[in-house]
């Protein structure tokens, strides 16, 4: 897949700069890389529209210093990842790294070769999801990972003792990459599935992870809810703090109770439990 990078630098460091990410996320930009003076937002090139992108930042003109549009054919995108992918320490006992990095001695040493998939640990939502998961006891539990990307959270769940993991991914190439990463980590409990909410087959899970985006979550919550029973826990991310109340409200409609939430640079993780 070809990607388009929209690079944006700001006149000064302000909290509002991050809020613009949410506008870009709304129109399809799916990942962000921060720089000293701003950040780059990435979108599959076939979904990129220069007119819509420039319109989305129109109201913020006075604080923007410079913007640039850069095309990344598939090959270059891979190279870019390899040169910029550093190991990420999620916690004292969990590291996400690539196979070209030195082996780590921590309890959960996750190896990811991302190609063009999301889920290297660099993004706030992956970090928040992984941290949140690490605070639970997964021994013998069943788990569903929606929007598995590289498979990183499903792999962590198996490492933590989950006894069955279904990992669903919409994009065919990303799905293939998740299978590849599963093998790379010698996983045997993960069932990788190409699909979306409608593909949820098993009746009930102890845990459901969803790191996608606000709109998909609101649309597909009915599928997640149907796969939960009393005491099932759902951990959701891929949205901004300002969107949490609408997602929480949706969950409440399905009999879910708020447990906790965590934010990093406005990106938020919400945990709810079926009562």
Ligand X SMILES: C[S@@+](CC[C@H](N)C(=O)[O-])C[C@H]1O[C@@H](n2cnc3c(N)ncnc32)[C@H](O)[C@@H]1O
- Write out the residues near ligand X by the rule CB under 6 A: 117-119, 125-126, 129, 146-149, 152-153, 168-171, 174, 196-197, 211-212, 216, 220, 238
Q: Burial-class residue 112 by CB neighbours within 10 Å (0-12, 13-18, 19+).
A: buried
Which CB sits closer to ligand X, 174 or 228?
174
Nearest approach in angstroms of CB 193 to ligand X is 9
Q: How far is the CB of 56 from ligand X (least distance, A)?
A: 19
Q: Are 182 and 244 in contact (CB under 8 A)?
A: no
* Between 149 and 182, CB nearer to ligand X: 149
Angle at 240 between CA 238 and CA 245, to 5 degrees: 105
Least separation, in Å, of the C-beta of 264 and ligand X? 13
Identify the three-state secondary structure at position 87. coil
Q: Which two tokens stand for residue 45?
A: 């090139």
Cα(42)–Cα(21) distance, integer angstroms: 11
Q: Which is nearer to ligand X, 122 or 274 (CB)?
A: 122
Those residues whose C-beta lies under 8 Å from the C-beta of residue 13, and which sit 6 or more positions away, are none
CB of 8 to ligand X, least distance (A): 20
Closest by CA position to 239, among listed 207, 220, 265, 258: 265
Question: Is the Cβ–Cβ distance between 213 and 239 less than 8 Å?
Answer: yes
Between 177 and 232, CB nearer to ligand X: 177
- Residue with Cβ nearer ligand X (168 or 272): 168
Nearest approach, Cβ of 213 to ligand X (angstroms)?
7
């Amino acid at each position: 897949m070809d990607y388009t990078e929209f690079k944006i630098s700001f006149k000064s460091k302000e909290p509002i700069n991050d809020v613009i990410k949410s506008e870009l996320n709304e129109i399809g930009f799916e990942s962000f890389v921060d720089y000293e003076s701003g950040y780059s937002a990435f979108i599959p090139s076939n979904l990129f529209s220069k007119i819509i992108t420039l319109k989305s930042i129109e109201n913020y003109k006075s604080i923007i210093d410079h913007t640039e549009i850069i095309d990344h054919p598939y090959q270059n995108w891979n190279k870019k990842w390899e040169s910029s992918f550093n190991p990420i320490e999620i916690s004292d006992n969990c590291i996400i790294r690539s196979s070209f990095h030195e082996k780590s001695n921590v309890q959960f040493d996750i190896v990811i070769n991302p190609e063009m998939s999301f889920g290297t640990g660099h993004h706030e939502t992956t970090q928040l999801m992984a941290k949140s998961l690490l605070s639970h006891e997964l021994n013998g539990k069943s788990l569903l990972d929606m929007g598995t990307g590289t498979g990183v959270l499903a792999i962590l769940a198996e490492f933590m003792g989950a006894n069955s993991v279904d990992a669903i991914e919409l994009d065919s190439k990303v799905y293939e990459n998740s299978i590849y990463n599963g093998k790379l980590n010698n996983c045997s409990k993960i069932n990788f599935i190409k699909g979306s909410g409608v593909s949820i087959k098993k009746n009930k899970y102890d845990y459901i992870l969803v790191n996608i985006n606000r709109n998909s979550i609101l649309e597909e919550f009915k599928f997640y809810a149907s796969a939960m029973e009393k005491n099932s826990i759902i951990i959701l991310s891929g949205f901004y703090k300002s969107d949490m109340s609408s997602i929480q409200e949706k969950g409440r409609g399905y009999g879910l109770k708020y447990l906790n939430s965590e934010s990093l640079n406005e990106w938020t993780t919400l945990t709810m439990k079926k009562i």
